[in-house]
Amino acid sequence: MARNVLESSLLGAGFSIIFQILCRILTFGINAYIVRNVGREVLGIMNVRLLLLESTLLFLSREAINRAALSANSQQRDRCSWAQLINQMWLTVPICVVLCGPCLYIWLNWLSTVDAVYSSQYEFACYAVALSCVLELFAESTVFVAQVFCFVKLKILLNTLHIFVRSAIFLWIVIGDRSAAITAFGIAQMASAVTIVLGQYGFFYFYIGRFNDYKLQQARKKQPTPTSWELTLFEHMDDFPFTRLTEFLPGVMFDPIGKFFNRELQTLTLSFVKQGVLKQILTEGEKYVMSVSPVLSFGEQATYDVVNNLGSMAARFIFRPIEDSSYFYFTQTISRDTRLAKQPSDQVRQASSVLNNLLLGVSSIGMLAFTFGQSYSYPVLLLYGGPDFVAGGLPQSLLQWHCLAIYLLSVNGISEGYMFATNTSRDIDKYNYLMAIFSVSFLVLSYILTGIFGPVGFIFANCINMLGRILYSTYYIRQQYQPLSLNPLLGLKPAKLFAGTLILSGLICYWYQSSALFTHLGIGLIAGLVCLLAWALSHRDLVRLAWRYGRRIKID
């Protein structure tokens, strides 16, 4: 591809972070409204039970196929045609339809029952969420093409529209009738799925038409002079293979190989399927335990979910966009089936440097979250949910311990993401057995530790699980780069100035936490700025590099 993968990945990560911040502010506002006006039990049903159904269906339907297709596009272009990739992406729809049956049966009959007053709304919402997942996957082929060809702004625009439509419809119904919150949730999910489908196909209908006109002008003129708008939209798109909107449908696009699917791509997909099931258990394991066993009431589940969402703000705002963009970058830069010593040295060194800087950046954010989370958990929860919400001290304890999980999550996301992006199919299959052990141990630990420590036990189990995964992925990275005398894991070692400033700031903030609220917040703001300054002084080269890339990336 002529497109600059690194710059596109950086731009995508930056836009995604901004988008996540905006949409999460909106989501937190809605959750705060529900906690104060509707009730925790309703919030627990929506944010734990129903969102778990959506996450399960979408993740199991498309995660493995999408990851395999991204890898195949960079390394098997001569063996895997675009027609086969489009056909492969459409497999997500029948897979989701098949999964809807058993999932709906489990959610409606096996999981702990909801109160009778909510039962009819809950049943409707389950069917609505399942239908919205199927509808959303009708646009999966266009989403994949947009990702490969680096349509970053399209992704952000449609995601913003999707969140806006869902939130607006939900609030419109709930403000009119607070008792219909769960029904409103289901209707809003279906409306947002329709928005994604219409937005994706609408954009490519417009884009392909203008692109065909542009290519026709190029064919008629020896040296056409494109407008700045056309350059922005069509530059580096000589390999764009689509000429009609119908080619995004399965079986329409011409396949020069003559095969509907690619066998190598299916093999890689199957490897990711096994891994995806295990990863889903690890990602949403505590919600599965909550839903299957009556260890927590819906009110306690809502409390845990609120604290978990607040505690994972860094993960959702920053870590996840960086992980997605870095995974895309590493799949396009490092070949899975070739040792690093036999790959282009410039690309390998660049990948090592990028990995080092990523680990340095996310681990520093994790350290900041852990340091200041110990002193500012109570004020944040008080401002969010009010005095009644923080009564008893459970939310504060949950958030403080969650700050430790944030640091481990930051390191695990990048190190494991790199491993998944560069592993061979055989290595992925081997790791699947270890993931099975992690999954089972996590579920067992969650059940045991929750019985001993209450909701905090979920966080303890998650920390133990992530620590084991970090040890394995960092061992893989060390073994891969050791023959080249490169060590990107040095990014995990904090600079002395930054570490010392963190410790001193944490002690000062903890000492003054009994002061007036705004005084305490002011001290924390000053201490945070001092820590950021210490980090910038310790890593001046990285700051200059980020500034240079920021100036090179033009946002039109």
What lies within 8 Å, CB to CB, of 413 at 6+ separation is: 315, 319, 320, 322, 323, 362
Contact 156, 16 (CB under 8 A): yes
374 and 252 housed in the same domain: no
The verdict on 121 and 214 lying in the same domain is: yes
Q: CA torsion 359→364→369→374, rounded to 10°? A: 120
Report the alpha-carbon distance of residue 89 to residue 219 in Å, rounded.
32
Instruction: Work out the end-to-end distance of the chain between its first and last CA atoms, rounded to an integer number of angstroms.
Output: 21
Task: Say if residues 431 and 277 touch (Cβ distance below 8 Å).
Answer: no
Residue ending a domain, among 435, 456, 491, is 491
264 near 76, Cβ under 8 Å? yes
pTM over 0.85: no
- Assigned domain for 506 exists: no
Sequence-separated (6 or more) residues with CB below 8 Å from residue 162 = 192, 195, 196, 199
Rounded to whole angstroms, the Cα distance separating 414 from 231 reads 34
Question: Which among 340, 352, 484, 467 is positioned nearest to 416, based on CA atoms?
Answer: 467
**Other Cβ atoms closer than 10 A to 537:** 13
Alpha carbons 374 and 403: distance in angstroms, whole number: 8
**Amino acid at site 252:** V
**Both 359 and 255 in a single domain?**
no
Within 8 A by CB and 6+ apart from 97, the residues are 134
Same domain, 43 and 156: yes
434-442 contacts: CB < 8 A, separation 24 or more?
Answer: 434/472, 435/275, 435/278, 435/279, 435/282, 436/278, 438/278, 438/282, 438/465, 438/468, 438/469, 439/278, 439/281, 439/282, 439/285, 441/465, 442/281, 442/282, 442/285
97 and 217 together in one domain: yes
- Do 240 and 321 belong together in one domain? no
433 in the same domain as 307: yes
The answer as to whether 372 is a domain residue is: yes
Which of 274, 309, 337 corresponds to the end of one domain?
274
Structural domain boundaries enclosing 122:
39-274
Which H or E run includes 408? helix 394-422
485 in a domain, yes or no?
yes
In this prediction, residue 276 carries a pLDDT of: 78
Distance of CA 469 to the CA centre of its chain: 18
Assess if residue 537 is contained within a domain: no
* Total count of domains within the chain: 2
**267/372 same-domain check:** no
What CA–CA distance (Å, rounded) separates 20 from 196? 17
Cβ atoms of 136 and 54 within 8 Å: the answer is: no
Which residues are CB-neighbours of 22 under 8 A, at least 6 positions away? 160
Do the domain assignments include residue 399? yes
Query: How confident is the model over 191-240, as pLDDT tens digits?
Result: 999 999 999 999 999 999 888 887 777 777 655 555 555 555 665 566 68
Give me the residues of the chain with pLDDT under 50, please.
Answer: 1-3, 74-79, 554-556
Last residue of a domain, one of 274, 308, 334: 274
Q: What's residue 434's pLDDT?
A: 86
In angstroms, the CA 276 to CA 270 distance is: 10
Same domain, 363 and 442: yes
With both helix axes pointing from N to C terminus, report the angle between 394-422 and 320-333 in degrees, rounded to the nearest 10: 10
* pLDDT of the residue at 365: 92
The verdict on residue 220 lying in a domain is yes
Same domain for 323 and 268: no
Rounded Cα–Cα distance for residues 360 and 539 (Å):
10
Supply angle C-alpha 151, 156, 161, rounded to 5.
Answer: 125
Residue 421 lies in a domain: yes
- 309 and 253 in one domain? no
Find, among 498, 506, 496, 497, the residue nearest to 527 by Cα.
Answer: 506
Residue 333 lies in a domain: yes
CB atoms within 10 A of CB 295: 19
In this structure, what are the phi and psi dihedrals at residue 225, rounded to the nearest 5 degrees? -110, 95
Q: What single-letter amino acid sits at 250?
A: P
d(CA 450, CA 151): 44
Judgement on whether residues 144 and 221 belong to the same structural domain of the protein: yes
